Amino acid sequence: MDSENRVVVLIDMDCFYCQVEEKLNPDLKGKPIAVVQYNPWKGGGIIAVNYVARAMGVTRHMRGDEAKEKCPEIQLPSVPCQRGKADITKYRDAGKDVARVLQKYTSLLERASIDEAYLDITASVQERLRSLNIHSVTSNMMPNTFALGYESIQELVSDVHNYGGDCMEFDQEHASRLLVGAVIVSEIRAAVYEETGYQCSAGIAHNKILAKLVCGMNKPNKQTVLPKHSINLLYKTLSIKKVKHLGGKFGDIVCETLKIKLMAELQKYTEKELQSRFDEKNGTWLYNIARGIDLEPVQARFNPKSIGCCKQFRGKSALTTLESLKKWLKDLGDEIEDRLEKDAVENNRCPKQMVVSFSTQMLDGRDTSSSRSYNFGVEDELCGELFSAKALELLLDSAEGCKPRDDEADRKLKAPIKFLGISVGKFEDNDNKKTKKIKDYFSAGTSKGTSDVKENIKPIGHTSERTTNDKIAVGKEYIINKFFQQSEEKLKSNKELSNTEKPILESSLDKQESFFAKFLNNTSKEMDVKNKIDRSTTPVCHVVTRGNETSNDTDYSGSTIDDEINKSVAMFEENPEDVDRVSDMRKLLNSTILQNEEIRDSFHESENKNPNHKNVPDNNNVETIQCSDCGKCITLNMFDIHADYHLALKLREEERQQLRKEKEKTNTVVDKTKKPEEKTKKQDIPKIEVKSIANFFVKVDDSAPSKMCSECGKKVPIEKFVEHLDFHEAQKLSREINRPVTTSNSREFIGPVTNTNSRPETNSAKRKRKSTSPIKKPKVQCKSIDLFFRQ
DNA sequence: CATGGTCGGGAC
DNA sequence: GTCCCGAC
């Protein structure tokens, strides 16, 4: 596909976190709100502001308290905290809900962030163009749509109907595509709102950069089209810094070296000129984007490539003891475990690598960041304990600066840790050989399975080998069994109910507030795909309810799962236990899981063969519908089974969480830390008196005689040059402290570590510097580094 | 002390 | 494999 003839869309949720909070608490609707995080200090940091509050002058970069001053009636829902850090699970889940809706409509979807996705809808547009006369497109097919260069979308519609009118550059085909694209995007956005309740904005253009650029031009709940012939008009006033990739330091460099500010001014330079001022790649990229050209394809990617969590420890909260380091690593590792477990269930994959990142305070007060990676071995059980233990190991092995002082009783770290992060990545699909075998066992045997069925079932993903709590498992199955049984009885005695919108089991279970009644109702509601499934075909589907959309307020956080199970079990006490039914139920759950693994396998296989058509609903096949739980497309006749599969998985996840809770209670923290004394003895790093960074980085005065530093490429006045070189030496030494012990000799100096407050010139030179330039060791010119230390 | 926690990606 | 940048 010619990249100039695409229809690319950026969907961006409007103040997403606020919308999520409004949906969860409808009382907030219409009121000014801002979502904050960590409210104890000055009312918390604002990370999202809804449009009511924006109208009253509330912005990001404000603290909660400031917002209250501006707008006393503002509501400030807070991001929940878990394990001492912000927990954005609910927003992540909400973002996934949205993306699943988008996925139904588009063949190519790239999730760009928690609330943004690029779509390539070229194929849909062309199909629509075949079946539709462009002259029948009217502006009321695309409400809330704007087009750059036009007062109203109607004018663009007219232009297309009139083949461009008097506009010379008008490209009829292109404009038609974008117009039809706008119609489709209207439909998509309507579907998003319909199915999730969230509003979004969209940009529609022929590439990602432009779609992104115009997406924000009309908000909220609006969409903007950028036809090619309006690009120059836009660029006449568009700041270079507004363009994606140019919003940071590179953008500054471009503006400063060319002494320009606007995109239109970029067009004056030839490709070669740009390449000579920047590098070849960046030069070409700038040359192209100045002409509205961006070849970057929309990648088909729904799932994140890595899962990570991190936390800063600013100011006084910097970690200084081994104990606090371990505590935070444990929390981070546990969060990874939780998220990984969810990911394994949904995506049948597991990570092959973990990375621990950290930054420590240097002796001059600045931060230096590093990361170390570890490739998992087959013997590793991917759990929080492993992540935190390995992270600690990597930290202590590789970062001398983090080792605890052995001369102090309180085991203080030698350098305060300002940042910690663990992430896992390099995902690979799980092999399904084991489960295939189990499947054979099921399909070959009769329904009279033996009691060892359970032991043969391995959980999906990596989370195997846990001691299963039979009581809980059987209790749950028993309840579900009863639940289904009652639903069937209810159905028989109440046939007319089966076609109504009312929950079938309202009278028997809902009133008693049973955990499982709520759980099943909620679960099944999620699985219910509107108007598409006849749910009366299999016994299990009887539990599905319709309507009652307002009941998303169910909250189990108050009571433990045990409590709920006991409550639920008590409800059935009057009936004798039916052992056979329990075992049947267990088989049903397990076989459901297995059948769906088959379906999933076939999906993964087709994805591998045809990566560009990942999870795409086949438009020609009406038998395919998309599961609202996982986004996968399932054939109609398999859907009931598939939905049950999710139910089974959810139940099993409940079990695991319960087990983990218990484990956590009984387990004392395992200290796998090696004793610091056993490590290679490195001489104590002498203390450096903190020297202001201003002493190293001096202002550039072009008129004064200066010399280019071969280390950082920066111009330095001659009288400051020696001191400047000393800075690099000091930095080098500081960095040396964080080298792996094993490779601490004769390292190549890399350069300034962080560019906090670094000037663009620094980066400009750095960018231009090729690896060919040999790095001279200016030892002879340096004052002794010892002068910076005081014994 | 003060946008923080996540992501993806490029350079070397 | 590390480090850093850009963006939300």
* Distances A79 to A18, A335, A439 between C-alpha atoms, Å: 10, 16, 43
* Nucleotide B11: closest residue by CA–C1': A767
A596, two tokens: 């769906």
Task: Tell me the nt nearest to A766, Cα to C1'.
Answer: B11
The answer to whether the beta carbons of residues A418 and A367 sit under 8 Å apart is yes
**The predicted structure's pLDDT at residue A230:** 97
Quickly tell me which residue has 């590439």 as its tokens: A207
Q: In this structure, is the dihedral angle defined by the CA atoms of residues A547, A549, A551 and A552, taken in order, positive or negative? A: positive
Question: Among residues A116, A400, A564, A711, which one is catalytic?
Answer: A116
**The predicted structure's pLDDT at residue A407:** 56
Give, for A563, the enclosing helix (H) or strand (E): helix A561-571
The residues near A52 (Cβ < 8 Å, ≥ 6 apart) are A30, A31, A32, A33
* Nucleotide B1: closest residue by CA–C1': A315
Q: Is A116 a catalytic residue?
A: yes
Neighbours of A371 (CB within 10 A): 13
* Nucleotide B12: closest residue by CA–C1': A771
Cα A231 vs. chain centroid, distance in angstroms?
Answer: 31
**The predicted structure's pLDDT at residue A413:** 84
Cα A744 vs. chain centroid, distance in angstroms?
Answer: 36
Nearest to A696 by CA among A665, A728, A666: A728
DSSP conformation class of A712: T
Distance A269 CA to B10 C1' (A): 24
Task: Tell me the nt nearest to A282, Cα to C1'.
Answer: B10
A743, two tokens: 């490779």
**The predicted structure's pLDDT at residue A27:** 94
Distance A15 CA to B10 C1' (A): 30
The answer to whether the beta carbons of residues A520 and A647 sit under 8 Å apart is yes
Low-confidence ranges of chain A (pLDDT < 70): 1, 399-410, 432-791
Distance A47 CA to C8 C1' (A): 10
Distance A510 CA to C7 C1' (A): 46
**The predicted structure's pLDDT at residue A445:** 29
Look at strands A145-147 and A223-225 and give their pairing.
parallel
DSSP conformation class of A611: G
**The predicted structure's pLDDT at residue A167:** 84
Nearest to A764 by CA among A253, A266, A241: A253
* Nucleotide C3: closest residue by CA–C1': A370
CA angle A338-A343-A349, nearest 5°?
125
Residues with CB under 7 A from strand B: A 37-38, 41, 45-47, 60-61, 85-86, 88, 92, 113, 279, 281-282, 299, 301, 304-312, 314-317, 335, 339, 421, 423, 425, 767, 769-771
Cis peptide before A220 (omega within 30 of 0): yes
Taking the whole predicted model, whether its pTM rises above 0.75 is answered as: no
Residues with CB under 7 A from strand C: A 112-116, 212, 243-251, 353, 355, 368-373, 375, 398, 738, 750, 752-755, 758, 763
Distance A41 CA to B2 C1' (A): 9
Distance A361 CA to C4 C1' (A): 17
**The predicted structure's pLDDT at residue A725:** 55
Query: Which positions of strand C lie within 7 Å of protein CB atoms?
Result: 1-8
**The predicted structure's pLDDT at residue A501:** 30
For chain A, list the domains and their CATH numbers: 3-10+90-289 (3.30.70.270), 26-76 (3.40.1170.60), 308-426 (3.30.1490.100), 469-665 (no CATH), 693-788 (no CATH)
The residues near A566 (Cβ < 8 Å, ≥ 6 apart) are none
Task: Tell me the nt nearest to A359, Cα to C1'.
Answer: C3
Nearest to A4 by CA among A292, A221, A379: A292
First to last CA, chain A: 67
